Amino acid sequence: MSTVSSTGNPLRDAQDRRLPRIAGPSGLVIFGVTGDLSRKKLMPAVYDLANRGLLPPGFSLVGFARRDWEHEDFAQVVHDAVKEHARTPFREEVWQQLAEGMRFVPGVFDDDEAFRTLKATIDELDKSRGTGGNFAFYLSVPPKFFPTVVSQLKKHGLSDGEGESWRRAVIEKPFGHDLKSARELNAVVHEVFQPHEVFRIDHYLGKETVQNILAVRFANTMFEPLWNRSYVDHVQITMAEDIGIGGRAGYYDGIGSARDVIQNHLLQLLALTAMEEPTSFDAHALLTEKLKVLNAVRLPRELGRHTVRGQYAAGWQGGEKVAGYLDEDGIDSKSKTDTYAAVKLEIDNRRWAGVPFYLRTGKRLGRRVTEIAVVFQRAPHSPFDATDTQELGQNAFVIRVQPDEGVTIRFGSKVPGTQMEIRDVTMDFAYGESFTESSPEAYERLILDVLLGDANLFPRHEEVERSWEILDPIEEYWDKHGKPEQYPAGTWGPQAADEMLARDGRSWRRP
Ligand code: BG6
């Protein structure tokens, strides 16, 4: 997407961009390495990158956690995680090379001795593996630990590289739980790291289909002329999951679906769908346009009518009876946490004035699907009999983020026969059919970008703070008014969500 190093010669730069993007000498330190994310996503992503030849031969992985492990124990944990979750086939020689660069540092975050050991470990890796002093610190830990970890990195001389070498901080969500806490966290992180050294993860931006939103919009002529209030009736952004909260009660309860997903993933999808064309694809140009559109987002005045929250009750999913949220392990039986949220947003600018953007997300819904549906207005005039167009809906352009990645266009077509009956049909593009290349996992892409110092796909602190600013009034409203409506697991959410759209004369898609 962007030039990592510009030669100053546009033709050379264009050629460079087609070369595989391979990380230079470097290493990754993961705090919170015993967590689920690390095992299911980060460790496999590192292996997959190595397997694809995108990491340097001396790449090193350091785990930091409160465990009584030797380096070999850590390597074994990574090995098991890779075997279970990696995307690419296991190859012994790739594994061996990677395993030689694995180290483990036992300790808690306020333990000076552990950070001295970490420093010694990094120095040793620079000598034995040629990591060149280039290290990224991945904070896969709850935000309450950020201040301690970053100040320890500073105190022990780990946050600044020497000479040409770099140090970067990678920060997992949740980045705060409201605007105030996000600002405080940003201040803490920026005391130690420069803005260009901080990489905030929103793994949705690492997904191929999400990056494709910009390709589809700005590499073609067909769509953009229609992509505005003159033709678009409304936009629906859906992220539905069939899973419950699994073992994440500690994180999820009190946070809920809107903070977990709307504040980050869905507002980023909205920004990419609604923003103006950036002047280039470098991080600054993208941020400028995303921020501009996020700044134009307006909440409806009557939050009670235009937002909905729900909580799953017991129900049936995939032929099995599943428990309700309040019966999940570790959940307070009186919890008011939302597991479903829907909001209507408007965008106050010339392109989108009057076009609602409906966002919804939920756990234990009918099926797992994330999509962006741009729904068009009906034709201004119909020369056909009303009876012939009964099965004609509104045209739609649907970006299928996952699963079944691709794009669907829905439009009306004549039904074969002697009458002029018109019915909706779809035209599909599916990744699997059009490309032989397989899609990397989001975390593969994002970890590689961190090592390359490429910040395009990482939200900057201004976007994060603006997103909280959008969400905060909704959460405050919910806090003061009632509790979430229960919906049976396996359905499409609370009835109030259907009513919310019905009041606008619309209905949710059933993807
Ligand atoms: C995470 C949320 O950011 O995204 C989870 O914290 C959610 O609650 C997950 O399950 C979904 O990610 P994906 O890539 O499976 O859609």
Q: What mean pLDDT, rounded, does the chain reach? A: 94
Is position 198 within any domain?
no
Which residues face 371 on adjacent strands? Answer: 238, 400
- Going by the annotation, the residues of the binding site for NADP(+) are 66, 173
Q: Answer yes or no: do 143 and 246 share one domain.
A: no
Q: How many domains does the structure of the chain reveal?
A: 2
Q: Please tell me the residue having the least CA distance from ligand 1 atom 4.
A: 261
Task: Tell me the average pLDDT across 428-451.
Answer: 93
Is position 70 within any domain?
yes
Q: Answer yes or no: do 216 and 364 share one domain.
A: yes
**DSSP letter for each residue of 299-366:** --S-HHHHEEEEEEESEEETTEEE--GGGSTT--TT----SEEEEEEEE-STTTTT--EEEEEESSBS
Residues 6+ apart with CB under 8 A from 60: 27, 28, 101, 102, 103, 125, 129, 131
Strands 60-65, 102-106: pairing kind: parallel
Is position 444 within any domain?
no
Shortest-distance atom of ligand 1 to CA 245: 8
- Could you tell me the maximum CA-CA distance found in the chain, to the nearest angstrom? 84
CATH number at residue 106: 3.40.50.720
The continuous run of DSSP H or E covering 84 comes out as: helix 71-85
Task: Tell me the average pLDDT across 356-364.
Answer: 98
| Banded pLDDT at 2 (limits 50, 70, 90) | very low
Query: How far does the centroid of ligand 1 lie from the alpha carbon of residue 477, in Å?
Result: 25
Q: Answer yes or no: do 270 and 371 share one domain.
A: yes
CB 282 within 8 A of CB 449: no
Q: Answer yes or no: do 256 and 162 share one domain.
A: no
- Pocket lining: 48 vs ligand 1, CB cutoff 6 Å: no
Query: How far does the centroid of ligand 1 lie from the alpha carbon of residue 261, in Å?
Result: 7
Considering 147, 172, 197, which residue would you say is the last residue of a domain?
172
Considering 172, 195, 217, which residue would you say is the last residue of a domain?
172
- Pocket lining: 465 vs ligand 1, CB cutoff 6 Å: no
Q: Answer yes or no: do 305 and 162 share one domain.
A: no
Q: Please identify every residue annotated as catalytic.
A: 265
Say whether pLDDT at 437 is over 70.
yes
CATH number at residue 477: 3.30.360.10
Query: How far does the centroid of ligand 1 lie from the alpha carbon of residue 70, in Å?
Result: 32
- Say how far apart CA 420 and CA 61 lie, in whole Å: 65
Q: Answer yes or no: do 48 and 111 share one domain.
A: yes
Considering 172, 194, 226, which residue would you say is the last residue of a domain?
172
Q: Domain of 431?
A: 205-438+460-503
Tokens of 248: 């994440």
Is position 16 within any domain?
no
Q: Answer yes or no: do 146 and 286 share one domain.
A: no
In this prediction, residue 6 carries a pLDDT of: 47
In this prediction, residue 318 carries a pLDDT of: 84
Q: Answer yes or no: do 136 and 238 share one domain.
A: no
Is position 154 within any domain?
yes
In this prediction, residue 20 carries a pLDDT of: 80
The continuous run of DSSP H or E covering 254 comes out as: none
Shortest-distance atom of ligand 1 to CA 204: 14
Is position 21 within any domain?
no
State whether the Cα torsion 194-197-202-207 is positive or negative.
Answer: positive
Which residues face 237 on adjacent strands? Answer: 359, 372
- Pocket lining: 405 vs ligand 1, CB cutoff 6 Å: no
Pocket probe mutation, ligand 1, options 261, 267, 370, max atoms within 8 Å of Cβ: 261
CB 331 within 8 A of CB 207: no
Q: Answer yes or no: do 421 and 470 share one domain.
A: yes
Residues 6+ apart with CB under 8 A from 499: none
Q: Answer yes or no: do 334 and 213 share one domain.
A: yes
- Pocket lining: 202 vs ligand 1, CB cutoff 6 Å: no
Q: Answer yes or no: do 267 and 340 share one domain.
A: yes
Say whether pLDDT at 1 is over 50.
no
Is position 180 within any domain?
no
Percent of the chain, pLDDT > 90? 90
In this prediction, residue 12 carries a pLDDT of: 56
pTM for the model: 0.94
Q: Answer yes or no: do 246 and 301 share one domain.
A: yes
Comparison of pLDDT for 436 and 123, the residue scoring more: 123
In this prediction, residue 264 carries a pLDDT of: 97
Query: How far does the centroid of ligand 1 lie from the alpha carbon of residue 337, in Å?
Result: 17
Say whether pLDDT at 200 is over 50.
yes
Is position 282 within any domain?
yes
